[in-house]
Every structure is written in C-alpha cells, then in structure tokens.
Amino acid sequence: MTSSPQSLHRVNYAAPRSFGTLLKANLKETLFPDDPFHEIKNEPISRRFLKGAQYFVPIFEWLPKYNFKLFKYDLLAGITIASLAIPQGISYAKLANIPPIIGLYSSFVPPLIYAVFGSSKHLAVGTVAACSLLIAAIIEGKVNASDNMPLYLSLVFTATLFSGLVQTALGLLRLGILVDFLSHSTITGFMGGTAIIICLQQLKGMLGLKHFTTHTDVVSVLRAIFHNRKEIMYTRKNASLQKNKKPKLFWVSAIAPMVTVIVGCLFAYFAHAEKHGIQIVGHLSKGINPSSIHLLNFDPKYISAPIKAGVIAAMISLAEGIAIGRSFAIIRNEQIDGNKEMIAIGLMNIFGSFTSCYLTTGPFSKTAVNFNAGCKTAMSNVVMSICMMLTLLFLAPLFSYTPLVSLSAIIMSAMLGLIDYDKAYHLFKTDKFDFCICMAAFFGVSFISMDIGLMLSVGLALIRALLYIARPATCKLGLISETGLYRDVEQYPDANGIAGFLILKLGSPIYFANCNYVRERILRWIRDERSHTISKGNEIEFLLLELGGITSIDITGVETLLEIRRCVQAKGIKMILVNPRLGVLEKLMVTESIDTITKESVFLTIEDAIDACRFSLKCSDHIKTENLAIV
C-alpha cells in the first residue's frame, strides 16, 4: 500500500508486555478477580494486621460493633431457625440412613464455626436433603447401613471430613471458579430431580407403613390413613406457604414443621402409636455432641466411597451455600467473597466431622426463613446453636415419639418447595439450551443416579461453553446510511455494504478449537458475497476484519490469520485488520506475523481502513494511467 492519507489514527505498536507481567496479570484475573486485599493495601502495618485478621475471621469485624438492638432481631431469627432445625435435622438424618440424633448434633457445632469464619449475614447453617441422600447413596454402595451401622456411620463422618478438606482447599487455592461451572440451570434441575426421588422414597415409606399395618389390625390402618391425610394436609399447607413469599405468612411456614412434629409426638404418645404399628423415631439420648475423631475411617478397602461422596457433596453444597448467600447479599446490596465462604463452610465441615456431625451447608429454605425472620448478623446461627444445645441437653427424649410419617411429611413438604416449575418454564421460554441443561440434571437424577445426572448436566453446560468458543459468531458489517456507523447487516437491515469491501466482525477468541471454523466461515462469506455482487459487476478487493471483539488469540489462531491472508490473496483480495486489541496485537508482534501482514494493513477504525484502501486504489489507477500515457 502506498503512503496513507494524513488524517489516519495511529495503531499503537508498543513493545509487547513481558511474560512475567502477563503471567501476573492473568493469575490475578483468574484467582483474585475481586482483589480481596484492596482494603489493606494502603494501610500502615499495624492496621494491616488487624484488617487481615478481620478479613480472614469476619467475627472480629462485626462483633465489636454488635449491640443489643441487633441482638433482639438475631434472637428471634435464631429461635425460628432452631424450630426448623430440629424437625429437619431428624428428617434428613433419616434420609442419610444415620441415627436421628446426628441430625441434631449437626445443627449445634457447625453454626458456631460458621459464625466465626462466615462472611454472610443471612446464611443459616444446616443439613440438606440432596447431599444427605447423595452421601447415603454412594456409601450404601460399599456398606449397608442396616448391616453395619458403626462402619457406615464412620464412613459418613469420613466423607464429611473430605468434603470439608476439599472445600477449604478450594477456598485457599481460590478455585471458586470451579463452583461457577455449576450453573443455576444445573442446580435447578438437580434440586428438582432430587426432590422427586426423595418424595418417591417417602411415598414408598408410607406404603410400607400401610402394608405393615394391614398385618396388625383394621383400626390402625384407618388411623394410619387418617393420619396420612392429616400429614398430607400439612404437606400441602407447607408447600403452598413456602411458595408464598408474603413476609407475614412465612411464620406459619417456618413454624409448621415444628408444629407437625409436636402434633405428631402428642398423637403418637397418647394413642400409643407404637403398639398400633406406627413407627416412631425411637430413643434419643440426652447430651451434646460426643467426639468422633476416633471414628474417622481411612481403611483403603472403603476409602473410595467417602472420597467420592465427599468431593461431589462438597461441590454441590458449596454451590448451594454460596449461591444462596450471594442472592441475599445482593438483595441487601452487600458483597460476599465466594472463596472466603468456601473456607468457612469447609472449616465447619472439618470440625463437624470431629464432633459427630455430618455434612452441613447453607440450605435454601433455612436461609430464606432466617432472612425473613429479620436476622442481622451471623449471631442468629449462634442463637440457633444454643437452642440446639438446650434441646440436646434437656428435650431430646421428648422427640423420640415423633412418628416417621411426620418426618416424611416434613421432608416431602420441603421437597415440593424445591421443584421450581416457574424457573424451568422461564428457562424453556427464554433459553432452550439452558432448559436442556436443567432437564438433563432433572431426568438424570430422577432416572439414573444423582452423580450421573449431575455430570450429564455439567457436561452439557461445558459442551455449550466449548461450542461458544468453537463457533464464535461472525457478522458482516454495513454502513448505516447517514451515520458513519458500521453495524451488523442482519441486525440493522438498513446498513449497506460498501462496493469492493467485505467487512467482517469476528467473535472472540480465535484459537485452536475454532480456527478451522473461522477460516471456513470467512471463505464462505467471500463466496456468498461474490455470488451476490458478481451480477452487479463489482468484485471484492478488500477483506476488512474487525478484531475489536477478539480478546485473545493463540499460535494456531495467528497461523490461521496468515492462512486466511494467503487464501484471499490468491483470490485477488487484500486482507486488512481493524482495531486489534492489546492481547492480539502483542501476539502478532511476538510471532513476527505482523511483518507478513505488514503494519500498513492494520488500522484503528473501519473508516481509516476504507479511506486508505481507496487512496491506494486511486494511486495505482493513477500510476496505471500514467504508465499508459508514457506508453
């Protein structure tokens, strides 16, 4: 190209940044995107230490400012979630096939740990149905709970320890990024599928009960059915209330499980339900959590099951805990640090596994109740913890009369609330692929198994992610008349192509997985354009590639650009690059491809490129005519 007109804007060919600078920048973006230490940076060392302690142990930050006014709110919220924790703890422990008392233990120690290390103000700690079932399903594969309860229980504690270790490690290594790959769609489907299988299990339990009673007497069958009806009524009530977001009614929903348990206990006690064949929870011994360190089992014969259960449950419970923490933080316009949350949740599971607790996280339902009950700080968890301690010390035996059907009703009630039809319908209406990801989890969990369902869904989400990369959208730009703007001709039908030019905007990024596609697609654009314009008689002379949308490029991508250049050159077309971003330009310079492409073929704006191309055309025409004149 000959000398270009004066008005051109200059592309900046500063020397590429060094490898060290790039590595540091990339690592920072990958691992510390939220710049967690920004508050500490400009402080004196003594304050840095305090700030650092406050950063890692948030209780240091909020406890000094704590006052009685806040405590009133937290007390109320704490008692409310404690009343939820007792029936849920017993129920979910049943789901995990472990003694009900473990469920109560699990609401005593972990909330205390979370109150110290957790950064969310609204998260309420507790056991969750999905993970309870998941752990049971995986560990049952090795050891049958009814055959060898001590071994089974020790493996559950070991799985909890592994979960805690994995969660803490992910947090310390700042790998919150891994949890990001569990999308909302996956979680929605997974929760729905889990809810379905849990409900079916409970129904089976109820049928089992019926079958059992027919063997004894007719009266108890009727009673059982009557009882079932009552529970189902409760169930429906709960389910509808859980959906009902009116804050005033949430109390009913929050207290309902406790009421169910109390009514059930009274019924069972006075009707001597046990004698009529209605199963009850059975003996619950007084006393707080015993140590379980000696129970942790690393026998190589069994170790694979707790590791698998621990790792999968760790990811799911993190996804649930962090997602719910974030949601409420956003409502209150606060920020929570995912990696810090991971450490807090991980620590609470590690300590939990030492003190006879199994896997805990921040369940959706309990956290919502906590939030609605007006909690102000993590103190509500402490209040719940103290309530649980009192229960364990004095009231535990009272709950031994709880009929199992009450628990089933509580579980089903909670589960029905987890099936989020609206969300699924919303996904179906707005994004079919997200809907497929959700359904893969739902049907996979319902019909195959929890881990396979989850992997199917995550796999689909990853394929989608990779397809985004493998097939980056390109579009043809045209000039919107009277504006000087170049925009997608499909989006803005009044944008017109410019004779002799084909202007393409490439998607991001270009590299090995999509370079064949990008080349084929560009050649197809040229082919299509030619078949259109050939009738009009104006051939394409310049291919302008708008690279503003390309954030990065790898070696294969650079080679592809050179190949495209060679291909179009053979067709008599000159390739021009417009507005390459920093990363792309640097790579072009490092690989010295810029020397092949020539700096004269790179422009900062489309207008500049077009002006320069026209100028060079005119010059060459001029030279041609001059030559002719000389001849």
551 binds a second copy (CB under 8 A): yes
CB closer to a second copy, 273 vs 515: 515
- Cβ distance 346 to 167 under 8 Å? yes
Angle value at C-alpha 111, between 108 and 115, nearest 5 degrees: 140
Tell me how far the alpha carbon of residue 518 is from its chain's centroid: 31
Pick 77 or 547: Cβ nearer a second copy: 547
Chain Cα centroid distance, residue 22: 28
- Interface residue with a second copy, options 374, 459, 500, 583 (CB under 8 A): 583
Instruction: Report the DSSP pairing between strands 574-578 and 542-546.
Output: parallel
**Angle separating helix axes 68-95 and 364-372, nearest 10 degrees:** 160
Minimum CB distance to a second copy smaller for 451 or for 546:
546
29 vs 147 by CB, closer to a second copy: 29
Residues 590-629, interacting with a second copy (CB under 8 A): 590-591, 604-605
Smallest distance, Å, CB 344 to a second copy?
17
The one segment of 302-310, 369-377, 533-541, 555-563 that binds a second copy by CB under 8 A: 555-563
Position 345 contacts a second copy (CB under 8 A) = no
Task: Out of 480, 530, 539, 614, point to the residue binding a second copy (CB under 8 A).
Answer: 480
Among 15, 570, 629, 630, which residue sits at the site for a second copy (rule: CB under 8 A)?
570
Give the whole-angstrom CA distance, residue 128 versus residue 133. 9
The residue (of 126 and 497) whose beta carbon lies closer to a second copy is 497
What is the pattern of x (binds a second copy, CB under 8 A) and - over residues 309-338?
-----------------x---x--x-x--x
Residues from 84 through 103 that contact a second copy (CB under 8 A): none
Which position among 140, 274, 539, 559 is part of the footprint of a second copy (CB under 8 A)? 559
Element of type H or E holding 603? strand 602-603
Nearest approach in angstroms of CB 422 to a second copy is 13
**Minimum separation from the CB atom of position 454 to a second copy (A):** 15
Cβ contact 457:438 at 8 Å:
yes
Span 14-53, contacts to a second copy by CB under 8 A = 19, 23, 26, 29-30, 33-35, 38
Of 285, 297, 314, nearest to 393 by C-alpha is 285
- Sequence letter at residue 603: F
| Cα separation, 594 vs 148, whole angstroms | 70
Q: How far apart are CA 572 and CA 568, in angstroms?
A: 6
Q: Which is nearer to a second copy, 329 or 396 (CB)?
A: 329
Residues 455-474, interacting with a second copy (CB under 8 A):
461-462, 464-473
Q: Which is nearer to a second copy, 48 or 230 (CB)?
A: 48
Judged by CB under 8 A, which stretch of 88-96, 158-166, 389-397, 506-514 contacts a second copy?
A: 506-514
Binders in 100-159 for a second copy, by CB under 8 A: none
Provide the minimum distance between the beta carbon of 314 and a second copy in the complex, in angstroms, as a whole number.
Answer: 18
- Our CB check for a second copy shows the closer of 74 and 546 to be 546
Exposure on the CB side of residue 350, measured as CA atoms within 13 A? 13
Measured between alpha carbons, how far is 415 from 410 in angstroms, rounded to an integer? 8
Residue 98 tokens read as 């472990």
Select from 51-59, 225-233, 395-403, 578-586 the region that touches a second copy (CB under 8 A): 578-586
Taking the complex as a whole, how short is the minimal distance between the CB of residue 176 and a second copy, in angstroms?
Answer: 7
**Which tokens go with 545?**
């590639």
Q: Does 587 bind a second copy (CB under 8 A)?
A: yes
Q: Specify the stretch interacting with a second copy by CB under 8 A; choose among 110-118, 129-137, 152-160, 554-562.
A: 554-562
C-beta of 147 vs 422, nearer to a second copy: 422
How many residues belong to the site for a second copy (CB under 8 A)?
92
Selected from 432, 532, 618, 622, the binder of a second copy by CB under 8 A is 432
Q: Strand, helix or coil at 428? A: helix
CB of 488 to a second copy, least distance (A): 6
SS3 (DSSP) at 233: helix
DSSP strand E in 492-562: where?
A: 495-496, 501-505, 542-546
Q: How far apart, in Å, are the Cα atoms of 45 and each of 50, 52, 564?
A: 9, 10, 56
Q: Can you tell me the distance from the alpha carbon of 175 to that of 187, in angstroms, rounded to the nearest whole number?
A: 19
Selected binder of a second copy within 372, 508, 601, 616 (CB under 8 A): 508
Q: Hey, which residues between 509 and 548 contact a second copy (CB under 8 A)?
A: 509, 511-517, 520-521, 523-524, 527, 548
CA–CA distance, 543 with 526 (Å, rounded to integer): 8
Q: Evaluate whether 337 touches 45 at the Cβ level (below 8 Å).
A: no
Binding of a second copy by 216 (CB under 8 A): no
For residue 575, what are its two tokens? 């390739």
CA distance 411 to 399: 16
What's the start-to-end Cα distance of the chain, in Å? 24
Angle at 19 between CA 17 and CA 23, to 5 degrees: 105
* Nearer Cβ to a second copy (147/592): 592
Per-position x/- string for 249-288, each x denoting binding to a second copy as judged by CB under 8 A, each - no binding? ----------------------------------------
Nearest-angstrom CA–CA distance, 229 and 251: 23
Write down the least CB distance from residue 177 to a second copy, Å.
6
Residue whose C-alpha is closest to residue 604's, from 549, 547, 560: 547
Q: Is 431 in the site for a second copy (CB under 8 A)?
A: yes
| Alpha helices for 431-514 (secondary structure H) | 432-443, 450-470
Shortest distance (Å) from residue 546 CB to a second copy: 9
Tell me the torsion sign for CA atoms 111, 115, 116, 122.
positive
Query: 7 vs 291, which CB is nearer to a second copy?
Result: 7
